[in-house]
Amino acid sequence: MFQNDRNIPDRHRREYIAPLRAAQLGRFDAVAFPRTELAELGFKLSGPFLVTELLPLSWSLMRLFSLRKSRSHVPFRFLLVLFADGQIFLQHRKPTSDGDISHHSAIGIEGVVRRDDQSLFSPGDLGLADAAARTLFEHFELPHHVRASVRDERRWSKPLAVIDRAHDVLETDILTYIGFQCAGISEITDAVEAWTACEWISFPAKFNDLSRFDKSSARVLSDAELQAALCS
C-alpha cells in the first residue's frame, strides 16, 4: 500500500537491503589464537589444562566476523557453565548439521573474549574472567546490586582449556570452560525457571544422544575429569 503512495518520497518506497544481524554482532575485536600453534600445544597437553598455558602463544586481536571462516586463527571462545544446588543449566535447542552452537542444546552459555575485556587488572588470562562476568550480566540482564556476588571469586572455577586436534592442522580448535556457582542469586535461578527453553537438571548428567549438543557441551558431558574440575 505504501509503495504505491505517491505522497511518500520515492527513496522511501524502494526495497532496503538490511545488513545481516550476525555481521553486526561480530563487529568487534576478539582475542584469537593461531591454529598451528594450538596444534603444537595440543601434542604436549592431551587433557584439560589451565588457560595460563595459552599465554605464551602469539595471540592477536581480530574482528569476530572475519574469524568465523578463518583457517589460520580461532577465536578465544568459552562455555560458561552454571551450577546451582547440585544442578546444571541446560538450554534446549533443535539439532542441525551445520555445527553452529546456536542451533544445538547447550550445557552453559557461550561467550568470546573481546578487546575491551582486557585491563590492567586482568588476572593473567587475557581477559577471560572479565569476559565471563560480562557474558553473565548480558545474558540475564542482571541489575547492578548483584555485581558483588558475581565478582565473588569463590563462585568461579579455574578456567580450563582443551585443544581439539584435527587431521588437518588448520581445523584445530580450542574449547575453553569456566564454571560459576549461582545458587542464592535469584536473578539468575528464577530467570532459568521462567524460560521455557531452559531448565536446571541434576549433575553429573548422562545423555544417550550427545549429538543433540554443541561440541563444547558434548565434551563436558563425556569427560568426568572436566566435570569434576568445573564443579570444584
Q: Is the pLDDT of residue 75 over 80?
A: yes
User: Which position has the higher pLDDT, 89 or 12?
Assistant: 89
Query: What pLDDT is stored for residue 171 in this prediction?
Result: 86
Neighbours of 113 (CB within 10 A): 29
Q: Where are the domains of the chain?
A: 28-231
132-186: pLDDT as tens digits: 999 999 999 999 999 999 999 999 999 999 998 877 888 899 999 999 999 999 9
* Helix 128-140 and helix 186-194, axial crossing angle in degrees, nearest 10: 50
pTM check: above 0.85: no
185-214: pLDDT as tens digits: 999 999 998 888 898 988 877 777 888 888
Query: What pLDDT is stored for residue 122 in this prediction?
Result: 65
pLDDT averaged over the chain?
84
User: Which position has the higher pLDDT, 47 or 135?
Assistant: 135
> pLDDT exceeding 90 applies to what percent of the chain?
46
Query: What pLDDT is stored for residue 142 in this prediction?
Result: 93
Q: Is the pLDDT of residue 71 over 80?
A: yes
CATH number (3.20.20.105, 3.40.50.1360, 3.90.79.10, 3.40.50.2300) of 28-231 reads: 3.90.79.10
User: Which position has the higher pLDDT, 211 or 109?
Assistant: 109
Query: What pLDDT is stored for residue 27 in this prediction?
Result: 74
| Whole-number Å distance between alpha carbons of 31 and 93 | 27
Average pLDDT over residues 109-114: 92
Q: How far apart are the first and last CA of the chain?
A: 62
